[in-house]
A and B are shown apart, each in its own frame.
Chain A
Amino acid sequence: MPSGSPEVTSGPPLVEMRDIHKSFGGVHAVEGVSISVMAGEVVGIVGHNGAGKSTLIKILSGAYQMDDGAIHVNGNPVGIGNPRDAKRHGIETIYQDLALHDNLDAVANFFIGREIHTRYGTLDNAAMERAAREVINRINPSFVSLRDPVLSLSGGQRQSIAIARAIYFNAKVLIMDEPTAALGQRETRAFKDLVLRLKSAGIGMLVISHDIHDVFDLSDRITVMSNGRQVGTRHTADVTKDQVLGMIILGKLPEEGTEEELAQLH
Protein backbone atom coordinates (compact mmCIF):
# COMPACT_ATOMS: atom_id res chain seq x y z
CA MET A 1 0.00 0.00 0.00
CA PRO A 2 1.80 3.13 -1.15
CA SER A 3 -0.55 5.49 0.66
CA GLY A 4 1.14 7.99 2.95
CA SER A 5 4.45 7.01 1.41
CA PRO A 6 7.42 9.05 2.58
CA GLU A 7 8.34 10.16 -0.97
CA VAL A 8 5.48 12.68 -1.00
CA THR A 9 7.21 15.96 -0.24
CA SER A 10 5.91 19.21 1.14
CA GLY A 11 5.98 22.57 -0.65
CA PRO A 12 3.79 23.71 -3.52
CA PRO A 13 2.21 21.00 -5.67
CA LEU A 14 3.99 20.10 -8.91
CA VAL A 15 0.76 20.85 -10.68
CA GLU A 16 -2.50 22.29 -9.48
CA MET A 17 -5.70 22.75 -11.48
CA ARG A 18 -8.13 25.17 -9.84
CA ASP A 19 -11.84 25.45 -10.50
CA ILE A 20 -11.62 24.17 -14.09
CA HIS A 21 -14.61 24.62 -16.40
CA LYS A 22 -15.03 23.24 -19.90
CA SER A 23 -18.10 22.98 -22.13
CA PHE A 24 -18.58 21.42 -25.54
CA GLY A 25 -21.47 23.22 -27.18
CA GLY A 26 -24.08 23.32 -24.44
CA VAL A 27 -22.70 20.31 -22.56
CA HIS A 28 -20.75 21.01 -19.37
CA ALA A 29 -18.00 18.40 -19.53
CA VAL A 30 -16.08 19.72 -16.53
CA GLU A 31 -17.57 22.06 -13.92
CA GLY A 32 -15.43 23.53 -11.19
CA VAL A 33 -12.98 20.68 -10.66
CA SER A 34 -9.78 21.25 -8.68
CA ILE A 35 -6.96 18.73 -8.35
CA SER A 36 -3.30 18.82 -7.42
CA VAL A 37 -0.33 16.47 -7.58
CA MET A 38 2.71 16.60 -5.29
CA ALA A 39 6.15 15.32 -6.19
CA GLY A 40 6.20 11.53 -5.89
CA GLU A 41 2.45 11.38 -5.47
CA VAL A 42 -0.06 9.33 -7.45
CA VAL A 43 -3.55 10.79 -7.73
CA GLY A 44 -6.23 8.50 -9.13
CA ILE A 45 -9.20 9.93 -10.99
CA VAL A 46 -12.25 7.68 -11.13
CA GLY A 47 -15.82 7.98 -12.36
CA HIS A 48 -18.26 6.67 -14.93
CA ASN A 49 -17.81 7.09 -18.66
CA GLY A 50 -18.64 10.68 -19.47
CA ALA A 51 -17.80 11.87 -15.95
CA GLY A 52 -15.29 14.33 -17.44
CA LYS A 53 -12.06 12.57 -16.42
CA SER A 54 -10.49 12.52 -19.87
CA THR A 55 -11.61 16.08 -20.59
CA LEU A 56 -9.96 17.24 -17.37
CA ILE A 57 -6.61 15.66 -18.11
CA LYS A 58 -6.70 16.72 -21.75
CA ILE A 59 -6.89 20.31 -20.53
CA LEU A 60 -3.73 19.73 -18.52
CA SER A 61 -1.98 18.03 -21.45
CA GLY A 62 -2.87 20.89 -23.79
CA ALA A 63 -5.16 18.88 -26.05
CA TYR A 64 -8.16 21.03 -25.01
CA GLN A 65 -8.32 24.62 -23.81
CA MET A 66 -10.30 25.30 -20.64
CA ASP A 67 -13.12 27.88 -20.61
CA ASP A 68 -12.37 29.03 -17.08
CA GLY A 69 -10.04 28.18 -14.22
CA ALA A 70 -6.32 28.29 -13.50
CA ILE A 71 -3.35 25.95 -13.79
CA HIS A 72 -0.32 26.34 -11.52
CA VAL A 73 3.03 24.63 -11.96
CA ASN A 74 5.28 24.72 -8.88
CA GLY A 75 2.99 27.39 -7.46
CA ASN A 76 3.22 29.69 -10.49
CA PRO A 77 0.25 30.32 -12.79
CA VAL A 78 0.90 29.08 -16.32
CA GLY A 79 -0.99 29.13 -19.59
CA ILE A 80 -1.28 25.84 -21.45
CA GLY A 81 -2.56 26.63 -24.93
CA ASN A 82 -1.34 23.52 -26.76
CA PRO A 83 0.53 20.25 -26.16
CA ARG A 84 3.88 21.99 -26.66
CA ASP A 85 3.21 24.26 -23.65
CA ALA A 86 2.40 21.27 -21.46
CA LYS A 87 5.59 19.46 -22.47
CA ARG A 88 7.60 22.60 -21.81
CA HIS A 89 6.35 22.48 -18.20
CA GLY A 90 7.35 18.83 -17.89
CA ILE A 91 3.80 17.48 -18.24
CA GLU A 92 3.76 14.30 -20.34
CA THR A 93 0.72 12.25 -21.25
CA ILE A 94 0.07 8.62 -22.08
CA TYR A 95 -3.26 8.74 -23.90
CA GLN A 96 -5.81 5.98 -23.73
CA ASP A 97 -5.42 5.28 -27.46
CA LEU A 98 -1.64 5.80 -27.02
CA ALA A 99 -1.57 8.41 -29.85
CA LEU A 100 0.93 6.43 -31.91
CA HIS A 101 1.65 6.76 -35.61
CA ASP A 102 0.92 3.33 -37.06
CA ASN A 103 2.89 4.04 -40.24
CA LEU A 104 6.10 4.89 -38.36
CA ASP A 105 8.46 2.60 -36.46
CA ALA A 106 9.02 2.61 -32.70
CA VAL A 107 12.04 4.91 -32.89
CA ALA A 108 10.20 7.50 -34.98
CA ASN A 109 7.20 7.34 -32.65
CA PHE A 110 9.45 7.72 -29.65
CA PHE A 111 11.04 10.92 -30.94
CA ILE A 112 8.24 12.46 -33.00
CA GLY A 113 8.25 16.21 -32.41
CA ARG A 114 11.61 15.99 -30.59
CA GLU A 115 13.80 14.36 -33.20
CA ILE A 116 17.55 14.28 -32.71
CA HIS A 117 18.98 16.01 -35.76
CA THR A 118 22.24 17.28 -37.15
CA ARG A 119 22.79 20.98 -37.55
CA TYR A 120 21.66 20.64 -41.16
CA GLY A 121 18.22 19.44 -40.08
CA THR A 122 18.81 15.83 -41.11
CA LEU A 123 17.71 13.02 -38.80
CA ASP A 124 20.30 11.36 -36.60
CA ASN A 125 18.70 7.93 -36.80
CA ALA A 126 21.57 6.11 -35.12
CA ALA A 127 21.46 8.31 -32.01
CA MET A 128 17.66 8.07 -31.83
CA GLU A 129 17.70 4.30 -32.16
CA ARG A 130 20.33 3.97 -29.41
CA ALA A 131 18.34 6.12 -26.97
CA ALA A 132 14.97 4.57 -27.81
CA ARG A 133 16.33 1.01 -27.57
CA GLU A 134 17.82 1.71 -24.17
CA VAL A 135 14.67 3.19 -22.66
CA ILE A 136 12.16 0.86 -24.31
CA ASN A 137 14.19 -2.21 -23.34
CA ARG A 138 14.32 -1.03 -19.74
CA ILE A 139 10.52 -1.07 -19.79
CA ASN A 140 10.14 -4.12 -22.00
CA PRO A 141 13.27 -6.30 -22.29
CA SER A 142 11.74 -8.49 -24.99
CA PHE A 143 11.05 -5.60 -27.34
CA VAL A 144 13.18 -6.05 -30.47
CA SER A 145 11.30 -4.73 -33.48
CA LEU A 146 12.28 -1.07 -33.28
CA ARG A 147 12.37 -0.69 -37.03
CA ASP A 148 8.93 -2.10 -37.92
CA PRO A 149 5.87 0.10 -38.32
CA VAL A 150 4.15 -0.02 -34.92
CA LEU A 151 0.94 -1.14 -36.66
CA SER A 152 2.36 -4.67 -36.50
CA LEU A 153 3.08 -4.61 -32.76
CA SER A 154 1.05 -6.04 -29.88
CA GLY A 155 -0.92 -3.91 -27.44
CA GLY A 156 1.72 -4.35 -24.73
CA GLN A 157 4.56 -3.40 -27.07
CA ARG A 158 2.69 -0.34 -28.26
CA GLN A 159 2.10 0.68 -24.68
CA SER A 160 5.80 0.26 -23.93
CA ILE A 161 6.58 2.86 -26.60
CA ALA A 162 4.02 5.33 -25.26
CA ILE A 163 5.30 4.94 -21.70
CA ALA A 164 8.97 5.06 -22.68
CA ARG A 165 8.65 8.29 -24.62
CA ALA A 166 6.60 9.89 -21.84
CA ILE A 167 9.28 9.29 -19.20
CA TYR A 168 12.37 9.90 -21.36
CA PHE A 169 12.07 13.66 -21.80
CA ASN A 170 12.46 14.69 -18.14
CA ALA A 171 8.80 14.45 -17.24
CA LYS A 172 7.87 15.96 -13.88
CA VAL A 173 4.20 15.06 -14.08
CA LEU A 174 2.85 12.02 -15.91
CA ILE A 175 -0.76 11.81 -16.99
CA MET A 176 -1.97 8.29 -17.72
CA ASP A 177 -5.40 7.63 -19.17
CA GLU A 178 -6.41 3.99 -18.59
CA PRO A 179 -2.79 2.80 -18.59
CA THR A 180 -3.59 -0.85 -17.84
CA ALA A 181 -6.53 -1.23 -20.24
CA ALA A 182 -4.50 -2.98 -22.95
CA LEU A 183 -2.29 -4.99 -20.59
CA GLY A 184 -2.41 -8.56 -19.40
CA GLN A 185 -1.98 -9.52 -15.73
CA ARG A 186 1.78 -9.90 -15.88
CA GLU A 187 2.16 -6.65 -17.78
CA THR A 188 -0.10 -4.85 -15.31
CA ARG A 189 2.10 -6.04 -12.43
CA ALA A 190 5.17 -4.77 -14.28
CA PHE A 191 3.40 -1.47 -14.86
CA LYS A 192 2.60 -1.06 -11.16
CA ASP A 193 6.22 -1.76 -10.39
CA LEU A 194 7.22 0.99 -12.82
CA VAL A 195 4.85 3.45 -11.14
CA LEU A 196 6.55 2.80 -7.79
CA ARG A 197 9.95 3.46 -9.34
CA LEU A 198 8.71 6.68 -10.89
CA LYS A 199 7.28 7.71 -7.52
CA SER A 200 10.59 7.26 -5.82
CA ALA A 201 12.15 9.36 -8.59
CA GLY A 202 9.84 12.19 -7.46
CA ILE A 203 7.53 12.15 -10.44
CA GLY A 204 3.91 13.10 -9.83
CA MET A 205 1.26 11.06 -11.59
CA LEU A 206 -2.39 11.49 -12.49
CA VAL A 207 -3.95 8.13 -13.28
CA ILE A 208 -7.38 7.61 -14.80
CA SER A 209 -8.67 4.09 -14.45
CA HIS A 210 -11.86 2.11 -14.59
CA ASP A 211 -10.31 -0.54 -12.38
CA ILE A 212 -10.97 0.40 -8.76
CA HIS A 213 -8.46 -2.21 -7.59
CA ASP A 214 -5.68 -0.70 -9.70
CA VAL A 215 -6.53 2.74 -8.38
CA PHE A 216 -6.36 1.54 -4.79
CA ASP A 217 -3.07 -0.23 -5.43
CA LEU A 218 -1.44 2.79 -7.07
CA SER A 219 -2.91 5.99 -5.68
CA ASP A 220 -2.09 8.12 -2.67
CA ARG A 221 -5.25 10.12 -3.18
CA ILE A 222 -8.40 9.47 -5.18
CA THR A 223 -10.56 12.07 -6.87
CA VAL A 224 -14.09 10.94 -7.78
CA MET A 225 -15.89 12.69 -10.65
CA SER A 226 -19.51 12.43 -11.67
CA ASN A 227 -21.31 14.29 -14.47
CA GLY A 228 -18.47 16.76 -14.87
CA ARG A 229 -18.38 17.62 -11.16
CA GLN A 230 -15.96 16.68 -8.46
CA VAL A 231 -17.67 14.46 -5.91
CA GLY A 232 -14.65 14.66 -3.64
CA THR A 233 -11.01 13.82 -3.09
CA ARG A 234 -9.90 11.44 -0.36
CA HIS A 235 -6.62 9.94 0.83
CA THR A 236 -6.64 6.33 -0.23
CA ALA A 237 -5.85 5.27 3.34
CA ASP A 238 -8.99 7.00 4.64
CA VAL A 239 -11.58 5.27 2.43
CA THR A 240 -12.70 1.77 1.54
CA LYS A 241 -13.34 0.51 -1.99
CA ASP A 242 -17.03 0.36 -1.17
CA GLN A 243 -17.03 3.98 -0.11
CA VAL A 244 -15.34 5.04 -3.36
CA LEU A 245 -17.76 2.93 -5.39
CA GLY A 246 -20.56 4.65 -3.49
CA MET A 247 -19.13 8.03 -4.42
CA ILE A 248 -18.95 6.98 -8.09
CA ILE A 249 -22.44 5.52 -8.24
CA LEU A 250 -24.34 7.97 -6.00
CA GLY A 251 -22.28 11.04 -6.81
CA LYS A 252 -22.16 11.86 -3.08
CA LEU A 253 -19.53 11.75 -0.34
CA PRO A 254 -19.78 8.67 1.93
CA GLU A 255 -21.10 10.77 4.84
CA GLU A 256 -23.82 12.29 2.62
CA GLY A 257 -25.39 9.04 1.44
CA THR A 258 -28.53 7.83 3.21
CA GLU A 259 -28.78 4.37 4.73
CA GLU A 260 -31.14 3.15 1.99
CA GLU A 261 -28.86 4.39 -0.81
CA LEU A 262 -25.84 2.74 0.73
CA ALA A 263 -27.78 -0.44 1.25
CA GLN A 264 -28.78 -0.54 -2.41
CA LEU A 265 -25.13 -0.70 -3.42
CA HIS A 266 -24.81 -4.20 -2.07
Chain B
Amino acid sequence: MNEHVGMGGGMSAGGRDPESVKSRWQSTQAQFFGIGAFYVAVVIFFALTSDYFFSYSNALNILTNVTVIGIVALGQTLAIVSGGFDLSVSGVVPLGAVTFVIFGNAEMATPAAMLLAVLVGAAVGVCNGLIVTKVGINPLIATLGTLSIAAGLAYALSNGVTIPMKNIEVGVLAERTYGRVPYYVVTLIGLSLVIWFAMRFTVIGRRIYAIGGNREASRLAGLRVDEITIAIYATCAGLAAFAGVVVSSQLLAGSATVGADAALTSIASVILGGAALFGGVGGVGGTLLGVLVLGTIANGMALLMVPAFYQQIATGVILLLAVGFGRFRAVMSG
Protein backbone atom coordinates (compact mmCIF):
# COMPACT_ATOMS: atom_id res chain seq x y z
CA MET B 1 0.00 0.00 0.00
CA ASN B 2 1.00 3.55 -0.55
CA GLU B 3 2.66 5.59 2.12
CA HIS B 4 0.06 8.31 2.13
CA VAL B 5 -2.81 6.00 2.93
CA GLY B 6 -3.63 6.50 6.54
CA MET B 7 -6.26 7.85 8.82
CA GLY B 8 -5.72 11.40 9.94
CA GLY B 9 -7.80 11.39 13.06
CA GLY B 10 -6.96 7.92 14.18
CA MET B 11 -9.42 5.33 15.40
CA SER B 12 -8.60 5.63 19.01
CA ALA B 13 -10.53 3.64 21.51
CA GLY B 14 -8.38 4.22 24.53
CA GLY B 15 -4.84 2.95 24.90
CA ARG B 16 -4.24 0.01 27.22
CA ASP B 17 -2.05 0.33 30.24
CA PRO B 18 0.62 -2.31 30.77
CA GLU B 19 -1.07 -3.51 33.96
CA SER B 20 -4.21 -4.69 32.15
CA VAL B 21 -2.12 -6.39 29.47
CA LYS B 22 -0.25 -8.19 32.19
CA SER B 23 -3.35 -9.29 34.04
CA ARG B 24 -4.88 -10.55 30.82
CA TRP B 25 -1.84 -12.64 30.06
CA GLN B 26 -1.98 -14.00 33.56
CA SER B 27 -5.60 -15.00 33.21
CA THR B 28 -4.94 -16.90 29.97
CA GLN B 29 -2.10 -18.73 31.64
CA ALA B 30 -3.96 -19.23 34.90
CA GLN B 31 -5.44 -22.61 34.06
CA PHE B 32 -2.00 -23.89 33.05
CA PHE B 33 -0.39 -22.68 36.28
CA GLY B 34 -3.42 -23.74 38.29
CA ILE B 35 -3.15 -27.30 37.08
CA GLY B 36 0.65 -27.16 37.53
CA ALA B 37 0.21 -26.10 41.15
CA PHE B 38 -2.36 -28.85 41.61
CA TYR B 39 0.12 -31.36 40.21
CA VAL B 40 2.79 -30.27 42.69
CA ALA B 41 0.24 -30.68 45.50
CA VAL B 42 -0.62 -34.17 44.26
CA VAL B 43 3.05 -35.15 44.17
CA ILE B 44 3.64 -33.81 47.68
CA PHE B 45 0.56 -35.60 49.00
CA PHE B 46 1.57 -38.98 47.64
CA ALA B 47 5.23 -38.48 48.60
CA LEU B 48 4.08 -37.99 52.21
CA THR B 49 1.62 -40.88 52.25
CA SER B 50 3.57 -43.52 50.34
CA ASP B 51 7.18 -44.50 51.02
CA TYR B 52 7.74 -45.78 47.52
CA PHE B 53 6.07 -42.97 45.55
CA PHE B 54 8.89 -40.43 45.39
CA SER B 55 11.54 -42.59 43.72
CA TYR B 56 13.22 -42.88 40.34
CA SER B 57 11.71 -46.25 39.57
CA ASN B 58 8.21 -45.02 40.40
CA ALA B 59 8.71 -41.92 38.26
CA LEU B 60 9.66 -44.31 35.49
CA ASN B 61 6.53 -46.34 36.24
CA ILE B 62 4.35 -43.29 35.88
CA LEU B 63 5.98 -42.29 32.59
CA THR B 64 5.62 -45.84 31.33
CA ASN B 65 1.96 -45.93 32.24
CA VAL B 66 1.07 -42.57 30.69
CA THR B 67 2.89 -43.09 27.38
CA VAL B 68 0.00 -44.67 25.50
CA ILE B 69 -2.55 -42.08 26.61
CA GLY B 70 0.07 -39.34 26.13
CA ILE B 71 0.55 -40.23 22.47
CA VAL B 72 -3.22 -40.32 21.93
CA ALA B 73 -3.61 -37.01 23.77
CA LEU B 74 -1.09 -35.30 21.47
CA GLY B 75 -3.34 -36.04 18.51
CA GLN B 76 -6.43 -35.16 20.52
CA THR B 77 -4.84 -31.76 21.23
CA LEU B 78 -4.68 -31.06 17.49
CA ALA B 79 -8.30 -32.14 17.05
CA ILE B 80 -9.63 -30.08 19.97
CA VAL B 81 -7.57 -26.95 19.29
CA SER B 82 -8.84 -26.99 15.70
CA GLY B 83 -12.41 -27.02 17.01
CA GLY B 84 -13.09 -30.76 16.70
CA PHE B 85 -13.10 -33.94 18.75
CA ASP B 86 -11.91 -37.44 18.04
CA LEU B 87 -13.71 -40.23 19.86
CA SER B 88 -12.58 -42.79 17.28
CA VAL B 89 -9.18 -43.10 19.02
CA SER B 90 -10.81 -45.67 21.31
CA GLY B 91 -11.30 -47.85 18.23
CA VAL B 92 -8.09 -46.90 16.44
CA VAL B 93 -5.79 -47.81 19.36
CA PRO B 94 -6.92 -51.50 19.28
CA LEU B 95 -7.00 -51.44 15.46
CA GLY B 96 -3.38 -50.26 15.42
CA ALA B 97 -2.44 -52.82 18.07
CA VAL B 98 -3.96 -55.73 16.16
CA THR B 99 -2.79 -54.75 12.66
CA PHE B 100 0.76 -54.17 13.93
CA VAL B 101 0.97 -57.70 15.33
CA ILE B 102 -0.66 -59.22 12.24
CA PHE B 103 1.82 -57.43 9.95
CA GLY B 104 4.70 -58.30 12.29
CA ASN B 105 3.68 -61.96 12.38
CA ALA B 106 3.62 -61.92 8.56
CA GLU B 107 7.43 -61.71 8.64
CA MET B 108 7.32 -58.04 7.75
CA ALA B 109 10.20 -55.81 8.90
CA THR B 110 9.22 -54.18 12.21
CA PRO B 111 9.47 -50.56 10.97
CA ALA B 112 7.32 -51.46 7.96
CA ALA B 113 4.73 -53.11 10.22
CA MET B 114 4.67 -50.00 12.41
CA LEU B 115 4.30 -47.72 9.39
CA LEU B 116 1.46 -49.82 7.96
CA ALA B 117 -0.39 -49.87 11.28
CA VAL B 118 -0.05 -46.09 11.50
CA LEU B 119 -1.29 -45.73 7.91
CA VAL B 120 -4.33 -47.89 8.68
CA GLY B 121 -5.07 -45.53 11.57
CA ALA B 122 -4.49 -42.47 9.39
CA ALA B 123 -6.94 -43.89 6.85
CA VAL B 124 -9.61 -43.98 9.56
CA GLY B 125 -8.66 -40.38 10.32
CA VAL B 126 -9.07 -39.35 6.68
CA CYS B 127 -12.56 -40.87 6.80
CA ASN B 128 -13.27 -38.87 9.98
CA GLY B 129 -12.09 -35.70 8.26
CA LEU B 130 -14.12 -36.33 5.12
CA ILE B 131 -17.28 -37.09 7.12
CA VAL B 132 -16.84 -33.94 9.21
CA THR B 133 -15.96 -31.55 6.35
CA LYS B 134 -17.68 -32.89 3.24
CA VAL B 135 -20.76 -34.57 4.74
CA GLY B 136 -21.02 -31.97 7.48
CA ILE B 137 -21.67 -34.30 10.40
CA ASN B 138 -20.75 -33.07 13.89
CA PRO B 139 -17.33 -34.47 14.92
CA LEU B 140 -18.71 -36.10 18.08
CA ILE B 141 -21.23 -38.14 16.08
CA ALA B 142 -18.92 -38.77 13.12
CA THR B 143 -16.10 -40.13 15.27
CA LEU B 144 -18.51 -42.05 17.49
CA GLY B 145 -19.52 -43.93 14.34
CA THR B 146 -15.96 -44.60 13.22
CA LEU B 147 -15.01 -45.58 16.80
CA SER B 148 -17.48 -48.42 16.56
CA ILE B 149 -16.35 -49.39 13.07
CA ALA B 150 -12.63 -49.34 13.93
CA ALA B 151 -13.15 -51.27 17.17
CA GLY B 152 -15.30 -53.80 15.32
CA LEU B 153 -12.61 -54.17 12.67
CA ALA B 154 -10.01 -54.82 15.36
CA TYR B 155 -12.18 -57.64 16.75
CA ALA B 156 -12.87 -59.03 13.27
CA LEU B 157 -9.17 -59.02 12.30
CA SER B 158 -8.17 -60.76 15.54
CA ASN B 159 -11.21 -63.08 15.64
CA GLY B 160 -11.78 -61.67 19.10
CA VAL B 161 -8.72 -63.36 20.56
CA THR B 162 -5.36 -62.01 21.67
CA ILE B 163 -2.71 -62.62 19.00
CA PRO B 164 0.74 -63.30 20.48
CA MET B 165 3.81 -61.91 18.71
CA LYS B 166 5.65 -64.79 17.04
CA ASN B 167 8.93 -62.92 17.29
CA ILE B 168 9.35 -60.92 20.47
CA GLU B 169 11.89 -58.68 18.74
CA VAL B 170 8.94 -57.03 17.01
CA GLY B 171 8.20 -55.47 20.39
CA VAL B 172 11.41 -53.46 20.17
CA LEU B 173 9.74 -50.24 21.38
CA ALA B 174 9.38 -51.71 24.87
CA GLU B 175 13.09 -52.37 25.18
CA ARG B 176 15.00 -50.22 27.57
CA THR B 177 17.67 -47.72 26.79
CA TYR B 178 19.77 -45.41 28.98
CA GLY B 179 18.63 -45.27 32.58
CA ARG B 180 16.12 -48.09 32.04
CA VAL B 181 13.84 -45.73 30.09
CA PRO B 182 11.83 -47.69 27.50
CA TYR B 183 12.11 -46.54 23.90
CA TYR B 184 8.43 -45.67 23.78
CA VAL B 185 8.87 -43.06 26.51
CA VAL B 186 11.64 -41.52 24.41
CA THR B 187 9.27 -41.66 21.45
CA LEU B 188 6.57 -39.83 23.42
CA ILE B 189 9.04 -37.10 24.31
CA GLY B 190 10.18 -36.84 20.69
CA LEU B 191 6.62 -36.68 19.33
CA SER B 192 5.70 -34.09 21.96
CA LEU B 193 8.60 -31.87 20.92
CA VAL B 194 7.73 -32.14 17.24
CA ILE B 195 4.05 -31.32 17.75
CA TRP B 196 4.82 -28.57 20.27
CA PHE B 197 7.19 -26.98 17.76
CA ALA B 198 4.71 -27.33 14.89
CA MET B 199 1.85 -25.80 16.85
CA ARG B 200 3.92 -23.00 18.30
CA PHE B 201 6.24 -21.92 15.51
CA THR B 202 4.97 -22.99 12.10
CA VAL B 203 2.46 -21.63 9.60
CA ILE B 204 0.34 -24.77 9.77
CA GLY B 205 0.27 -24.54 13.58
CA ARG B 206 -0.94 -20.94 13.43
CA ARG B 207 -3.67 -21.99 11.02
CA ILE B 208 -4.82 -24.81 13.29
CA TYR B 209 -5.43 -22.24 16.04
CA ALA B 210 -7.13 -19.95 13.51
CA ILE B 211 -9.55 -22.64 12.36
CA GLY B 212 -10.36 -23.53 15.95
CA GLY B 213 -10.92 -19.88 16.81
CA ASN B 214 -13.21 -19.00 13.90
CA ARG B 215 -13.83 -21.53 11.17
CA GLU B 216 -15.81 -19.21 8.88
CA ALA B 217 -13.33 -16.35 9.23
CA SER B 218 -10.57 -18.83 8.34
CA ARG B 219 -12.42 -19.77 5.17
CA LEU B 220 -12.94 -16.10 4.29
CA ALA B 221 -9.23 -15.47 4.91
CA GLY B 222 -8.53 -18.04 2.20
CA LEU B 223 -7.38 -20.96 4.35
CA ARG B 224 -7.95 -24.45 3.00
CA VAL B 225 -10.07 -25.27 6.02
CA ASP B 226 -11.32 -28.67 4.83
CA GLU B 227 -7.92 -29.96 3.78
CA ILE B 228 -6.31 -28.85 7.06
CA THR B 229 -9.14 -30.45 9.05
CA ILE B 230 -8.73 -33.77 7.21
CA ALA B 231 -4.98 -33.66 7.81
CA ILE B 232 -5.56 -33.05 11.52
CA TYR B 233 -7.91 -36.03 11.88
CA ALA B 234 -5.48 -38.20 9.90
CA THR B 235 -2.63 -37.18 12.21
CA CYS B 236 -4.74 -37.73 15.32
CA ALA B 237 -5.80 -41.23 14.28
CA GLY B 238 -2.30 -42.04 13.03
CA LEU B 239 -0.94 -41.19 16.47
CA ALA B 240 -3.67 -43.30 18.08
CA ALA B 241 -2.69 -46.25 15.91
CA PHE B 242 0.93 -45.71 16.95
CA ALA B 243 -0.21 -45.75 20.57
CA GLY B 244 -1.72 -49.14 19.72
CA VAL B 245 1.68 -50.25 18.40
CA VAL B 246 3.16 -49.25 21.76
CA VAL B 247 0.52 -51.26 23.65
CA SER B 248 1.29 -54.34 21.55
CA SER B 249 5.00 -53.85 22.17
CA GLN B 250 4.34 -53.68 25.92
CA LEU B 251 2.12 -56.81 25.86
CA LEU B 252 4.07 -58.65 23.14
CA ALA B 253 0.63 -59.38 21.72
CA GLY B 254 -2.17 -57.69 19.81
CA SER B 255 -5.59 -57.46 21.40
CA ALA B 256 -8.80 -55.73 20.39
CA THR B 257 -9.65 -55.13 24.05
CA VAL B 258 -7.01 -52.46 24.66
CA GLY B 259 -7.46 -48.70 24.57
CA ALA B 260 -11.18 -48.49 25.27
CA ASP B 261 -10.58 -45.57 27.66
CA ALA B 262 -8.38 -43.70 25.14
CA ALA B 263 -11.04 -41.21 23.98
CA LEU B 264 -12.30 -40.12 27.38
CA THR B 265 -8.91 -40.02 29.09
CA SER B 266 -7.24 -38.16 26.23
CA ILE B 267 -10.03 -35.58 26.01
CA ALA B 268 -9.98 -35.19 29.80
CA SER B 269 -6.21 -34.62 29.69
CA VAL B 270 -6.43 -32.01 26.94
CA ILE B 271 -9.22 -30.09 28.70
CA LEU B 272 -7.47 -30.42 32.05
CA GLY B 273 -4.41 -28.86 30.38
CA GLY B 274 -6.36 -25.68 29.66
CA ALA B 275 -7.67 -26.25 26.13
CA ALA B 276 -10.98 -24.63 25.26
CA LEU B 277 -13.76 -27.13 24.63
CA PHE B 278 -14.75 -25.36 21.41
CA GLY B 279 -11.27 -24.88 20.01
CA GLY B 280 -8.70 -22.18 19.44
CA VAL B 281 -6.94 -22.48 22.80
CA GLY B 282 -4.69 -25.21 24.16
CA GLY B 283 -1.30 -26.77 23.60
CA VAL B 284 1.11 -29.64 24.06
CA GLY B 285 2.50 -28.39 27.39
CA GLY B 286 -0.91 -28.25 29.03
CA THR B 287 -1.95 -31.59 27.59
CA LEU B 288 1.16 -33.37 28.90
CA LEU B 289 0.53 -31.82 32.30
CA GLY B 290 -3.05 -33.09 32.16
CA VAL B 291 -1.82 -36.57 31.21
CA LEU B 292 0.70 -36.53 34.07
CA VAL B 293 -1.88 -35.40 36.63
CA LEU B 294 -4.26 -38.24 35.77
CA GLY B 295 -1.42 -40.80 35.48
CA THR B 296 0.17 -39.75 38.75
CA ILE B 297 -3.10 -39.89 40.66
CA ALA B 298 -3.79 -43.36 39.27
CA ASN B 299 -0.29 -44.45 40.28
CA GLY B 300 -0.48 -42.92 43.75
CA MET B 301 -3.88 -44.42 44.46
CA ALA B 302 -2.63 -47.82 43.35
CA LEU B 303 0.33 -47.49 45.75
CA LEU B 304 -2.10 -46.61 48.53
CA MET B 305 -4.05 -49.78 47.68
CA VAL B 306 -7.13 -47.80 46.64
CA PRO B 307 -9.26 -50.04 44.40
CA ALA B 308 -8.99 -49.16 40.68
CA PHE B 309 -12.61 -48.12 40.26
CA TYR B 310 -12.07 -45.24 42.69
CA GLN B 311 -9.46 -43.91 40.27
CA GLN B 312 -12.20 -43.56 37.70
CA ILE B 313 -14.26 -41.58 40.17
CA ALA B 314 -11.26 -39.42 41.06
CA THR B 315 -10.55 -38.72 37.38
CA GLY B 316 -14.11 -37.53 36.86
CA VAL B 317 -14.12 -35.35 39.95
CA ILE B 318 -10.80 -33.73 39.04
CA LEU B 319 -11.95 -33.01 35.51
CA LEU B 320 -15.16 -31.42 36.71
CA LEU B 321 -13.31 -29.38 39.34
CA ALA B 322 -10.72 -28.15 36.83
CA VAL B 323 -13.24 -27.20 34.18
CA GLY B 324 -15.61 -25.80 36.79
CA PHE B 325 -12.79 -23.71 38.24
CA GLY B 326 -11.97 -22.35 34.77
CA ARG B 327 -15.64 -21.51 34.23
CA PHE B 328 -15.83 -19.80 37.62
CA ARG B 329 -12.77 -17.71 36.79
CA ALA B 330 -14.19 -16.74 33.40
CA VAL B 331 -17.43 -15.60 35.02
CA MET B 332 -15.61 -13.63 37.71
CA SER B 333 -13.39 -11.83 35.22
CA GLY B 334 -16.38 -11.05 33.01
Contact = CB atoms under 8 A, between A and B. Distances in A.
Given A83-B220, A112-B221, A142-B15, A190 B8 contact: yes
Contacts of B1: 135, 167-168, 170-171, 201
Nearest to A88: B222
Contact of A99 (B7, B25, B201, B214): B214
Interface stretch (A44-52, A151-159, A218-226, A257-265): A151-159
B4 A197 contact: yes
A102 B213 contact: yes
Contact of B217 (A61, A99, A135): A99
A59 to B, nearest CB: 13
Interface string B205-235: 0110110111011111111000000000000
Nearest to B6: A138
Contacts of B223: 112-113
B280 A87 contact: no
B216 A99 contact: yes
Interface residues of A, number: 58
Given A104-B210, A123-B201, A144-B16, A191 B217 contact: no
A245 interface: no
Interface stretch (A2-10, A16-24, A114-122): A114-122
Contacts of B213: 101-104
A156 B24 contact: no
Contacts of A113: 207, 218, 221-223
A95 interface: yes
Interface in A133-177: 135, 138-145, 148-149, 152-157, 159-160, 167-168, 170-171
B16 A101 contact: no
Interface residues of B, number: 41
Given A101-B210, A101-B214, A112-B206, A93 B220 contact: yes
A142 B14 CA distance: 7
Interface in A238-260: none
B313 interface: no
A261 B181 CA distance: 87
Interface string A178-189: 000001001101
Contacts of B7: 138-140, 190-191, 193-194
A198 interface: yes
Given A100-B214, A101-B280, A186-B9, A122 B221 contact: no
A108 interface: yes
B202 interface: yes
A148 B11 contact: no
Interface string B268-301: 0000000010001100000000000000000000
Most buried by A among B201, B203, B281: B203
Interface of A: 61, 63, 82-84, 87, 93, 95, 99-104, 108, 112-115, 117, 121-123, 135, 138-145, 148-149, 152-157, 159-160, 167-168, 170-171, 183, 186-187, 189-191, 193-194, 197-198, 200-201
Given A99-B214, A123-B202, A148-B25, 4 more contacts: A93-B220, A99-B221, A115-B206, A145-B16
6 contacts: A104-B213, A123-B202, A138-B7, A167-B1, A197-B5, A201-B2
